[in-house]
Amino acid sequence: MKIVLASTFVPFINGGARFIVEWLEEKLLEHGHEVERFYLPFVDSPHDLLDQMAAYRLMDLSGVGDRLIAFRPPAYLLRHPHKILWFIHHVRTFYDLWDTEYGPPPTADNRAVRHALRHADTQALREAKAVFTNSNIVGRRLSAFNSVASETLYPPIYRPERFRCDGFGDEIVAISRVEPHKRQRLLIEALARTKTPVRLRLCGRASNPAHALELQTEIRRLGLADRIVFEDRWIAESEKADILAGALAVAYLPKDEDSYGYPSLEAAHASKAVLTTEDSGGVLELVTDRHNGLICPPFAAPLAAAMDELYRDRVLAARLGAANMARLAELGIAWDHVLARLLR
């Protein structure tokens, strides 16, 4: 089968939105399909949004390939007679983040953009032969905002066999993009309140150098330079496995994440528990408190207590980590399942 994988990207920003496309491409090629990866740049500023969407809509790929699978918005505006969506999120500032600190000012112009966006999205989404989402929470948003039904299809990671567990050291590890909503600062504040010598390793590239500088300043201000390693750089996939192998646990506490997030999945493959928060969104579809991780209120004091508990009780850390690995099978997170659903 000839398959087009269509998505958008923000130049020079790597992350899960690219991985889901590139890893699916590898798996499709392994199964003998012909694949064309089709990326276009997209910036979701209110002034440019509708013009970019119009350009996407003008592209007719009807004669290209047997199937088109679209991912990140607004790739689903592309025209194709057999369009499948693996929908990973809306342009969130005009959907669930509207009227929050993360959304645009609710001016008349922005309200008009929001109305036009939702109308165009709904029309394009309903053209699809099938709609899958990367989490239940995204599926609920599709239903609430666009009245579109979907099926949850959890994305696996590529070559999970590279991850391993070499025991449980002193470091809680957080590997992800360094952004305010990923809340690395909250982890720093929590470590300052711990009563044990537990350590913290923050790994990932900051898209805004000023934010990385703020974190470094906070580490020094709190006197934690000898207990926190902050690597403000892109972490290669092979390097992740080595970092996670000896970790005590993995911390991932984004604000209202769209899915469980690859850091949670990487933790599971390395048999590590996940430390997260009650408001982490899709992460809670994978992590259950005291079964395969610890879920805390999103404040420094309870997070510090959880860090100390994991440090003091390595048996608990190992038990939660083993359960996290088993959780993958419970949710059917595997490439064979993904391909069976997308290519049915």
The mean pLDDT value for 243-256 works out to: 96
Distance CA(145)–CA(133), nearest Å, equals: 14
Closest CA to 342 of 136, 26, 134, 130: 130
Q: Is 12 helix (H, G, I), strand (E, B) or coil?
A: coil
Q: Residue 47: pLDDT above 90?
A: no
The neighbour count for residue 52, using CB atoms within 10 Å, is 18
Please, which pLDDT band fits residue 43 given cuts at 50, 70 and 90? confident
What separation in angstroms does the CA of 145 have from each of 121, 186, 247, 281? 10, 31, 40, 17
DSSP bridge partners of 245: none
Q: Band of the pLDDT at 10, cuts 50, 70, 90?
A: confident
**pLDDT exceeding 70 applies to what percent of the chain?**
99
Q: Is pLDDT above 90 for 164?
A: yes
pTM to 2 decimal places: 0.86
Contact between 308 and 194 under an 8 Å Cβ cutoff? The reply is yes
Residue at 339: amino acid letter: L
Could you give all domains of the chain from N- to C-terminal order, each with its CATH number? 2-153 (3.40.50), 160-331 (3.40.50.2000)
State the CB neighbour count (10 A cutoff) for residue 238: 9
Q: Specify the range with the lowest mean pLDDT, choosing from 78-87, 100-109, 216-225, 263-272.
A: 100-109
Determine the pLDDT at residue 258.
87
pLDDT of residue 6: 96
pLDDT bracket for residue 45 (50, 70, 90): confident
39, pLDDT greater than 70: yes
- DSSP helix/strand/coil, 75: helix
Mean pLDDT of all residues belonging to the chain = 94
What does the alpha-carbon distance between residue 39 and residue 42 come to, in Å, rounded to a whole number?
A: 9
Cα separation, 89 vs 98, in Å, equals 14
Q: Kindly report, residue by residue over 264-275, the tens digit of the pLDDT.
A: 999 999 999 999
The per-residue pLDDT for range 61-85, each reduced to its tens digit, is: 998 899 999 999 999 999 999 999 9
Residue 266 corresponds to which tokens in the numbers above? 């990487």
What's the rounded mean pLDDT across residues 120-127?
A: 96
Identify the weakest region by mean pLDDT among 43-57, 133-147, 170-184, 283-297: 43-57
Distances (CA, A) of 263 to 8, 49, 135, 242, 272: 22, 30, 15, 14, 11
CA-based nearest residue to 66, from 46, 82, 52, 78: 82
Q: How far apart are CA 154 and CA 134, in angstroms?
A: 5
* Gap between the Cα atoms of 339 and 344, Å rounded: 8
Q: What is the largest CA-CA distance in the chain?
A: 64
Confidence band (pLDDT; 50, 70, 90) for 13?
A: low
DSSP result, 164-190: ------SEEEEES-B-GGGTHHHHHHH
Are the C-beta atoms of 274 and 54 separated by less than 8 Å? no
Strand order across the 151-152 sheet: 34-41, 2-9, 67-70, 83-87, 130-133, 151-152
Residues counted in the chain: 344
With bands split at pLDDT 50, 70 and 90, how would you rate the model's confidence at 12? low
For residue 253, is pLDDT > 80? Answer: yes
Residue 44, pLDDT score: 78
Q: CA 115: distance to chain centroid?
A: 27
CA proximity to 294, closest of 276, 316, 272: 276
